Structure formats: C-alpha cells, structure tokens
Amino acid sequence: MQFQLTEEQLAVREAARDFAQQVCKPGVIERDSTMAYPTEQVRQMGELGFMGMTVSPEYGGSGLDNISYVLALEEISKIDNSCSVIMSVNNSLVCYGLETYGAEEQKQKYLTKLATGEWIGSFCLSEPEAGSDATHQRTTAEDKGDHYLLNGTKNWITSGGTSQVHLVIAQSNPDAGHRGINAFIVETGWDGVEIGAKEDKLGIRSSDTHTIMYNNVKVPKENRIGDDGFGFKFAMKTLSGGRIGIAAQALGIAGGAYELAVAYSKEREAFGKPISHHQAIAFKLADMATDIEAAKMLVYRAAWLKDTHGNYDQAGAMAKLFASSVAMKHTVEAVQVHGGYGFVKEYHVERLMRDAKITQIYEGTSEVQKIVISRGLLKGELYV
C-alpha cells in the first residue's frame, strides 16, 4: 500500500492550484454575486487540458489518470465551484461517457471538441418528476426509422446555457421500463431545442444551470449511444464515475474552508492571544483536519479503483456521501471560526458554505448514495 503521489500527479496538483489562485480567485466574489458565467476561466481550463483530463490524447484529451483528475478538481474547488462543476460534468459525465460507450464516429465528431474545451457538454437526465427516481423518464424518443423524435423537459442542467452538446436520456419503449431507455447526443443548435432561463441558485451561482425543452427534435439514429435500450445503464455507469468528481469537489470545498479558517485563526486575536491558541478553536481545526483526511482517503481510493478497473460504484458513492457531509459540516464551522467576518462575502467562507450544499444533492442525493452502498453490500459486492 502506498500513500505517495507520483511526480506527474504532484505537478498536476500544482498547476491546478496556480490556476485556481491566479485565474479563478480574482473576481470570484463578483461572479458569484452577479451570476456571471466564468467564460475566461473555462477557456483557460480547456487550454490547460483540464476539460478532458482522462481522455486519450488520440481524441484531444490529456491522457492522465483519475487521481490527477481528482487532485485538479480538489484544488479548483477550494476557490471556484462554478468552474469545478463545469469541469466535472464535462470530464466525468460527458467525455468519459462518450469515450467509453460512444462509437468511433461519435468520438471523432464530438469527443475531439469536448475534450479540448472547444465545446462544452451537458448531461441531461433529471426531469421535473424524475430526479432520484431516474428510471421514470417522461422524455420520449420515438423511433421513426432513420431518426428518433425527441420530446420532453430536462431540469437543473449544468452548462445548459453554454453547452454545444447534450447527452440526453429518454424513453423509447415505455413497456420495457428502464430497458427501453436510450441515451442520445443532441446538438444545441438543432431545431426544437429550447433553453429556459438561468436558475438563480444558493451556491455555484456563476455556473449556468437551466431547464431545457426538446420539442420534436429530430435526432439521427447514429447519435444514439450504444445498443437500443442501453441508456439507463449508460447513465448509471457514467454517474458512478461522476460521483467521484463531485466527491473531489466536496473535498476541495472542505479543504478551502479549512485553509481559510487556519489562516484567520492565527491572525485574529482575542483575550490576548491568537484565537487558534484557544482550545475552542484549536479543537474545531483538529476535527476539520481529521475529517478532511478521512474524506481524502475515500476520494483517492475511489479514483484509484477507477484507474485500476475495479468496481467503484460503492467506493464512489461512499466518497461522495462522506466528503459532501464533511464539506457541509466544516464550512459551517469555518464560518463560525471567522465570527462576524465569516458572514460577509469578502472572506470567501460563506460562499464555500453555500456551495457545499449542492454536493449533497447533485449526481445523486446523499440518500441515493446510501441506496447504492446498501444494495452493493447486501449483494456482497462490498468488502469492508
């Protein structure tokens, strides 16, 4: 067993840390406040190879491992979680899904643009009445011979206002239940694709989250991913990896809040000494550090399992469940360490606290992660 990162992994972490500090940090408070999309930051993430980190160089990706990917996400998430969610969805759900399950022509046509960040991708599964209960897709994709006719509404779509490509999950054969569901590559510019207003959110406010309507959209047959009826499994398999990305985001949020709390507690004095010398604060920092280390082990292990082709369904779910709860708990504590300053935007911790909440919700709520973990352990897939 080894706990050391390689030279390459360390270099990726350093590059992501520099990018977060130098490119994401300036203006992050204002972007959060005005909901301004991080256009320049996303462009540079593409240039740096952060938009297709694990994709093979053959398709324009960086060809790195999943440990490097989670390290980069973690660093960016310490500062700007609008950037990190755009990066995570593009990498874990869209690029990974296409590279692993897409046909060669689909990879040449779409993945080569998505992996470089020239295009951005969205993953369209959730619906107004199908969030956690994802098999109950109301969006339909009727087989019309040479094409499918897509109709329905998708909710809370990350990058919904900026993406050029949507991976859309839809029901083609309701009688077959989840085995009738397909996944499609849909271009935003096609007739019948309608983008709703940008959501005004509690956190990750500058990422663009939209409702998307598909009204009689003609999707060519060659844009279906995998065999007929593979769509639900495609979504589940892809989300298993996506959850590792969100776990890394949560880890970064907790780590960012911890770093701010440590720095502030060393500077701020009360009752004649830095507040870090008061046990009430020092013990909070000790609890934060311990929980963050534990979350790190779960996140890195899940990424390692993905790299080594192990089963990471439960490991990813555990990592997301735990890291998101650590992020929520300790961002609240970090605000408390800052006292009144923690409650104002200038000190950054209140934003991290607001951002933390979504990590317990998207890509499967904490309750869904418990379903995945418990089913796995009852089937004997999990060795504890």
**Contact status: 312 vs ligand CAA (CB under 6 A):** no
From the list 75, 127, 350, 363, the catalytic residue is: 363
From 270, 257, 277, 168, select the one nearest 212 (Cα to Cα): 168
Pairing of strands 165-171, 121-124: parallel
Q: Measured between alpha carbons, how far is residue 112 from residues 174, 200, 214 in Å?
A: 34, 32, 25
Q: Give me the numbers of helices (H) and strands (E) for the chain, helices first please.
A: 13, 9
SS3 122: strand
Based on the shown chain and the rule CB under 6 A, indicate whether residue 132 belongs to the binding site for ligand CAA. Answer: yes
Please answer whether residues 77 and 56 qualify as being in contact, where contact means their C-beta atoms are separated by less than 8 angstroms: no
In terms of Cβ atoms closer than 10 Å to its own Cβ (0-12, 13-18, 19+), residue 357 is middle
265 binds ligand CAA (CB under 6 A): no
225 binds ligand CAA (CB under 6 A): no
Question: By C-alpha distance, which of 101, 171, 150, 91 is closest to 123?
Answer: 91
Task: State phi, psi for 97 to the nearest 5 degrees.
Answer: -60, -45
Total length of the chain: 384
Q: How far is the CB of 339 from ligand CAA (least distance, A)?
A: 33
Residue with tokens 């973690």: 74
Q: Which of residues 163-192 bind ligand CAA (CB under 6 A)?
A: 178
Residue 123 binds ligand CAA, judged by CB under 6 A: yes
Provide, rounded to whole angstroms, the least separation between the CB of residue 367 and ligand CAA: 9
Footprint (CB under 6 A) of ligand CAA, residues 53-112: 89
Of the residues 72, 217, 239, 299, which one makes contact with ligand CAA according to CB under 6 A: 239
Count of C-beta atoms within a 10 Å radius of residue 287: 14
Closest approach of ligand CAA to the CB of residue 329, in Å: 22
| Residue owning tokens 């469940």 | 321
Q: Which is nearer to ligand CAA, 102 or 342 (CB)?
A: 102
Site residue total, ligand CAA (CB under 6 A): 23
- Shortest distance, CB of residue 97 to ligand CAA, whole angstroms? 11
State yes or no: residue 258 binds ligand CAA (CB under 6 A).
Answer: no
CB 91 within 8 A of CB 245: yes
Q: How far apart are CA 368 and CA 212, in angstroms?
A: 24
Least Å distance between CB 164 and ligand CAA?
15
Of residues 25, 218, 237, 278, which one binds ligand CAA by CB under 6 A?
A: 237
| Pairing mode, strands 269-270 and 273-274 | antiparallel
The minimum distance between CB 28 and ligand CAA, in angstroms, equals 20
363 is catalytic: yes
Of 169 and 349, which CB lies nearer to ligand CAA in the complex structure?
169
Asked if residues 337 and 284 have their Cβ atoms less than 8 Å apart, the reply is: yes
Check binding of 127 to ligand CAA (CB under 6 A). Answer: no
Closer to ligand CAA by Cβ: residue 89 or 111: 89
**Rounded-to-integer distance, Cα 283 and Cα 188, Å:** 51
231 binds ligand CAA (CB under 6 A): no
Select the span of 99-107, 212-220, 234-242, 254-262 touching ligand CAA (CB under 6 A): 234-242
Q: Which is nearer to ligand CAA, 15 or 236 (CB)?
A: 236
Q: How many CB atoms lie within 10 A of CB 184?
A: 24
* Segment lying near ligand CAA (by CB under 6 A), choices 24-32, 124-132, 185-193, 292-300: 124-132
Catalytic residue numbers read: 363
Q: Which residues bind ligand CAA (CB under 6 A)?
A: 89, 123, 125-126, 132, 134-135, 157-158, 178, 232-233, 236-237, 239-240, 313, 362-364, 368, 371-372
